[in-house]
Structures are given as structure tokens and as C-alpha cells.
């Protein structure tokens, strides 16, 4: 029996990879996917070209804050995987209103419609940033939420709204909180694709503060693997951290990117003022998803980074127009 899955934000970086994976030759089969995407600046129809002719694929351009459209789509599907979000911290610092609208109001619109339509499973994709910052150790899923940016605050709010529909109405809601993703088709405003594309063009890269902020890096292949384990084997009302297991300071990451692109530190790195409220370190404890669902990252960082650099080197036609429009 075919499972009908509504994927919000499926034209973006992670959502499109999820769709390509499920509808690809190594996918689970017996799934039909409808992508709902507003096609804001970070949503790119070209990300879905690989699956556009798949018989199990459909695309709807629309807003997750539109209750009429969302209600209609929910009635036609069995499950939801909710990626759609405003996600760039710097943009949220410049103005948080759109983050509240999309991440909070949009999630409520979706989860309420899912409840009313009797959706079987609702997987809500979140972020490790909701936990705040941690000096040592790693956050378990039970750690209190202490977000520090308008972006992460909006995501924390959306987590709580989604989980409230499990506790209040019994809806099968499952939340994932991932560490920093990287890989191909990543919009070039985020640090890895921004640095790679700048270096390929012989430009400088902006390194915040002292470069000592630490992040855990997760390849999109492994993130999609984790999401699928949660969708197919996870428990209702539970939160699952998904990490990649490679913690690097931004300075260390910059050094690896310079090496991969054949660039020199003194000529290519420009230190800039630190981001406001910049969290020092993120680190998620993935014990739960490993022991319960058998998750294990498969892509080692050296291989993943080399593949990512090669993809951007070979796909200028994909990213150059994006950088020109956004003036990055």
C-alpha cells in the first residue's frame, strides 16, 4: 500500500534531498510525495529536477500559513514531514517577524490541520540551536530549551506547539533536532557553501570573531537516514537528536576549506565582527536515536567535505545565479 507523504519545504536544501532520496533507486518504495513549498529565496525548483517525472511526485507552490490550502492537502495525505522554515540566523537578527510567521504560525497551521485530518504521523524537523549553548558535554533530548536568537526561539516555539498536539490530542508527532548540515544543493548564504563559492571565485571569506565557535557537522545523507528512521520506527511524542559526530571550531573548518580549495589563509580570510548573541558551542547527545533506532553516521567528514567542494566546483550554473540575486 502506498504511503502518501506531504513534505513541506521540499524545494530547499535538506527537504529536497529527502525527496530525492525517497523517490530514488535506494528509496523505500511504495511512497508518493507531494512537496509544498512557497519558493522563497532559498527554495529552488531545480533541486527537484531529478524526481520531477517520477510517478509518485507532485509539487504545490503555496504557503504553510494558508489554512485553506493546508487543510485540503492534509485530507489527501497519510503522513507529514515538515521542513519548511526560515533558518538563517543572521537574517533573523536583522528582522525576526518573518521567522515567527513561518516557523511558529506556519507550524501551528500545519499541525492543527493534521490533527483535524487524522494524519497518521507528523515528523517535525527542528535544530540543535533550540538548546542554546553548551561549554562541555552534549545535550540529551530532555535538556531545557534555551534559545538565544530570534531564529532558534521561533524553532523552539514550533517544537512546543507540535508536541502539544501529541499531549493534548494524541496526534503522533515526532520531533528531530539536528546539528549543522552540509552537502550539495546548499543555499550559498550558510558558512560552508558561502566559503567554498567565495574561495572558488578568489574572494575572501568572513570569519566571525576569533573563529572559536564550535559546531557538530552532519552530512545530509546521514540526516535523511535519521529522519527516515524516526518516521518509520520512532515513537509518538518523542524527540530525537541527530548528529554527525564531527565537532570543529569555525577556525578549524575554515582551514579545511582553504586546503580543499587551494587557498591561502593570509590572502583569503577576513576577520569580521562577531555575530550578536553568537552561541559558542553546540553538541547533541545521539544516544537515544542510536540505541532505539540503530542510527549511525556513515559519511566521514573528510569524504563528505571533498565531495561537497567538488559539487560546487562542477555546478556553477546552480549557485552563481543564486549569489547574484542575493548579492552574497
CB under 8 Å to 29, separation ≥6 — which residues?
none
Q: Is 150 helix (H, G, I), strand (E, B) or coil?
A: helix
How distant is the alpha carbon of residue 312 from its chain centre? 19
The phi, psi pair for 23, rounded to 5°, reads: -95, 0
List the 180-182 sheet strands across, edge first. 180-182, 214-219, 246-249
Q: Is 128 a catalytic residue?
A: yes
- Pairing relation of β-strands 214-219 and 246-249? antiparallel
CB under 8 Å to 173, separation ≥6 — which residues?
111, 122, 124, 162, 163, 165, 166, 236, 237
List the 79-82 sheet strands across, edge first. 57-61, 31-37, 3-8, 79-82, 121-127, 173-178, 239-242
Query: Pick the catalytic residue: 129, 216, 222, 279?
Result: 129
Q: Is 151 a catalytic residue?
A: yes
Query: Pick the catalytic residue: 18, 151, 165, 295?
Result: 151
Catalytic residues: 128-129, 151
Amino acid at each position: 500500500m502506498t504511503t502518501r507523504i506531504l513534505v513541506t519545504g521540499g524545494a530547499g536544501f535538506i527537504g529536497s534531498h529527502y525527496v530525492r532520496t525517497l523517490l530514488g533507486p535506494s528509496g523505500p518504495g511504495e511512497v508518493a510525495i507531494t512537496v509544498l513549498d512557497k519558493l522563497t529565496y532559498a527554495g529552488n525548483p531545480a533541486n527537484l529536477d531529478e524526481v520531477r517525472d517520477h510517478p509518485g511526485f507532485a509539487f504545490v507552490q503555496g504557503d504553510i500559513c494558508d489554512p485553506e490550502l493546508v487543510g485540503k492537502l492534509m485530507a489527501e495525505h497519510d503522513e507529514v514531514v515538515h521542513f519548511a522554515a526560515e533558518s538563517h540566523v543572521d537574517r533573523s537578527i536583522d528582522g525576526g517577524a518573518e521567522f515567527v510567521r513561518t516557523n511558529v504560525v506556519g507550524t501551528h497551521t500545519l499541525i492543527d490541520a493534521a490533527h483535524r485530518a487524522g494524519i497518521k504521523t507528523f515528523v517535525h524537523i527542528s535544530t540543535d540551536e533550540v538548546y542554546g549553548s553548551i561549554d562541555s558535554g552534549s545535550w540529551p533530548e530532555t535538556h531545557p530549551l534555551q534559545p538565544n536568537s530570534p531564529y532558534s526561539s521561533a524553532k523552539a516555539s514550533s517544537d512546543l506547539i507540535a508536541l502539544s498536539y501529541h499531549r493534548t490530542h494524541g496526534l503522533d508527532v515526532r520531533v528531530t533536532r539536528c546539528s549543522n548540515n552540509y552537502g550539495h544543493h546548499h543555499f550559498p548564504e550558510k558558512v560552508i557553501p558561502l566559503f567554498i563559492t567565495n574561495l572558488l571565485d578568489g574572494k575572501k571569506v568572513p570569519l566571525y570573531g576569533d573563529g572559536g565557535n564550535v559546531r557538530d557537522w552532519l552530512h545530509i545523507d546521514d540526516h535523511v537516514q535519521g529522519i527516515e528512521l524516526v518516521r518509520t520506527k520512532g515513537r509518538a511524542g518523542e524527540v530525537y537528536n541527530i548528529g554527525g559526530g564531527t565537532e570543529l571550531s569555525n577556525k578549524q573548518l575554515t582551514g579545511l576549506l582553504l586546503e580543499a580549495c587551494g587557498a591561502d589563509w593570509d590572502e583569503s580570510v577576513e576577520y569580521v565582527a562577531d555575530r550578536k548573541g553568537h552561541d559558542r558551542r553546540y553538541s547533541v547527545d545521539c544516544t537515544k536515536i542510536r540505541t532505539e533506532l540503530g542510527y549511525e553516521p556513515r559519511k566521514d567528514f573528510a569524504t563528505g567535505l571533498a565531495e561537497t567542494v567538488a559539487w560546487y566546483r562542477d555546478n556553477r550554473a546552480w549557485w552563481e545565479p543564486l549569489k547574484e540575486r542575493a548579492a552574497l
